[in-house]
Amino acid sequence: MRFAYRLRRHFWGGWSVGRWLGVLLLSAFAFVLVGSRFASWPLAAALGALFLAYTGILVWARRRRYIYFTSGELLPADLLPAAGLDRADLIPTRASGWFTVEGKRQYYVDLDADYQTVPSREHIVLARVHPSRFLLLGRWPEQDVGWWYIFFEPAMLRQVQVGYLHFGARPRLAVQLTYGLEVKTLETIEMTFDSPTALKQVWADLIVDAPPSAIPAGQPSHLQNSSARK
């Protein structure tokens, strides 16, 4: 799914690289079928099947949001931190979800990011889109490069889970959050971490004042009645 996401996010000449590849496959199919006057129908059939498979994979990956999360019990109680983060703490992570900045809104996957909780207990994910290239010609749109943010209050949390996020060759330790004021406006964030320590810090901070109903059965909830550090 990582390859499909990069095809979707990198552009050349106003079109995504994924669209260009689809057009090339479809053009090759039409050229072989018509140019050979149907004499090369086996090759044309193969190209047609390849185009359909390619399109199907892109649609499937987009509907899955290019990622796959599996929940699991990962945090032994004796290793959980005692309370929330200090005010200045920034926990490195990689984040996926709907980000906003200056009235713009975009869905991104696996952005370089930091997690922070401010004194008001509002949670913030601060993410960076870096310039990048893909398959030589594809470039990330320049207008998207820079800082993007997600803000949410503890009372908005509807579900918090730890587990693994699948995006690329290997699964990574992750926290998945579902938040929103109404059912129709619920959104999901996934944050992955390089170390269990970072995951435990974020998890402990989130459940300090999250609604008890946000912690599913089977997930560690030992700190849900704790108070944040002052």
39 belongs to a structural domain = yes
Q: How many residues appear in the chain?
A: 230
> Do 154 and 129 sit in the same domain of this protein?
yes
Q: Is residue 38 pLDDT above 50, yes or no?
A: yes
122 belongs to a structural domain = yes
> Do 72 and 182 sit in the same domain of this protein?
yes
> Do 201 and 162 sit in the same domain of this protein?
yes
228 belongs to a structural domain = no
> Integer distance in angstroms from the first to the last C-alpha of the chain?
42
Last residue of a domain, one of 14, 44, 63: 63
More confident residue, 3 or 38: 3
Q: Is residue 224 pLDDT above 50, yes or no?
A: no
Residue 230: pLDDT band with limits 50, 70, 90: very low
pLDDT digits (tens, 9 = 90+) for 77-131: 544 554 556 655 899 999 999 999 999 999 999 999 999 999 899 999 999 999 9
> Do 47 and 87 sit in the same domain of this protein?
no
Model pLDDT, residue 225: 37
Provide the sign of the torsion angle of the four alpha carbons 214, 190, 66, 76, taken in this order: negative
> Do 73 and 150 sit in the same domain of this protein?
yes
224 belongs to a structural domain = no
144 belongs to a structural domain = yes
pTM: 0.83
226 belongs to a structural domain = no
| Residue 31 φ then ψ, to 5° | -65, -45
> Do 73 and 58 sit in the same domain of this protein?
no
More confident residue, 36 or 42: 42
> Do 166 and 148 sit in the same domain of this protein?
yes
> Do 40 and 57 sit in the same domain of this protein?
yes
Mean pLDDT of the chain: 86
Model pLDDT, residue 229: 39
222 belongs to a structural domain = no
> Do 59 and 73 sit in the same domain of this protein?
no
Give the residue numbers spanning the domain of 125.
Answer: 68-214
- Name the domain count of the chain: 2
Which residues have C-beta within 8 Å of that of residue 166, sequence separation ≥ 6? Answer: 1, 67, 68, 69, 70
Mean pLDDT of 36-45: 73
With 0-12 / 13-18 / 19 or more C-beta atoms within 10 angstroms meaning exposed / middle / buried, residue 35 is exposed
> Do 84 and 41 sit in the same domain of this protein?
no
Q: Say which amino acid occupies 121.
A: R
> Do 35 and 79 sit in the same domain of this protein?
no
Model pLDDT, residue 204: 86
Q: Is residue 72 pLDDT above 80, yes or no?
A: no
- Top mean-pLDDT range of 71-75, 110-114, 136-140: 110-114
Residue 30: pLDDT band with limits 50, 70, 90: confident
36 belongs to a structural domain = yes
> Do 84 and 194 sit in the same domain of this protein?
yes
